[in-house]
Amino acid sequence: MGPGGFGENLTVSGLDEERVCIGDVFEVGGARVQVSKPRGPCANISKRWKLPSLLARVTETGRTGWYLRVLEEGTVEAGQAVRLLGRPFPEWTVRRVFRLRVEPDSDPGALERVAGCEALSPGWRRQFAALGTRSRDGS
């Protein structure tokens, strides 16, 4: 599969879910962007590529990609450098946050902590807060 095969808008070599953290701020061309959440793969990728096991494989490997919020608009072109400007939450790699979402029992103590990560998208923060409350209350 080539660039765009998973619906991504940017394909960047040297960055992956283990190296990128929620809240990371990057400069790309004239734009500044921030990592807001892991991408949640859906069944459409299996349908598009006619590979029934693809969704399970992506979930298993954690190679999901991530979403960016635009902090400063600018022109982005192929071949431009991607420069890390800041990493406010180094403990929350994209892979770790995705893994908590699909396996919340893997680290119950982390659920409420990640819910407090201000750079994480509000929807994911609410979900983690609810999971943390259920875990703490034993329900």
**Residue 104 included in any domain:** yes
Q: What is the pLDDT of residue 86?
A: 99
What's the mean pLDDT when you consider all of the chain?
Answer: 85
**Residue 17 included in any domain:** no
Residue whose C-alpha is closest to residue 36's, from 75, 86, 94, 91: 94
- CA 15/CA 44 separation, integer angstroms: 24
pLDDT in tens, 65-123: 899 999 999 999 989 999 999 999 999 999 999 999 989 999 999 999 999 999 999 99
**Residue 128 included in any domain:** yes
Contact 34, 96 (CB under 8 A): no
- CA 134/CA 113 separation, integer angstroms: 14
Q: What is the pLDDT of residue 63?
A: 67
CATH number, domain of 96, equals 2.40.33.20
User: pTM for this one?
Assistant: 0.83
pLDDT in tens, 127-139: 999 999 887 777 5
**Residue 3 included in any domain:** no
Q: What is the pLDDT of residue 4?
A: 46
Residue whose C-alpha is closest to residue 69's, from 38, 34, 40: 34
More confident residue, 18 or 5: 18
Q: What is the pLDDT of residue 137?
A: 75
pLDDT in tens, 17-59: 999 999 999 999 999 999 999 987 655 665 665 666 555 666 5
Counted domains in the chain? 1
Domain boundaries, position 118:
25-137
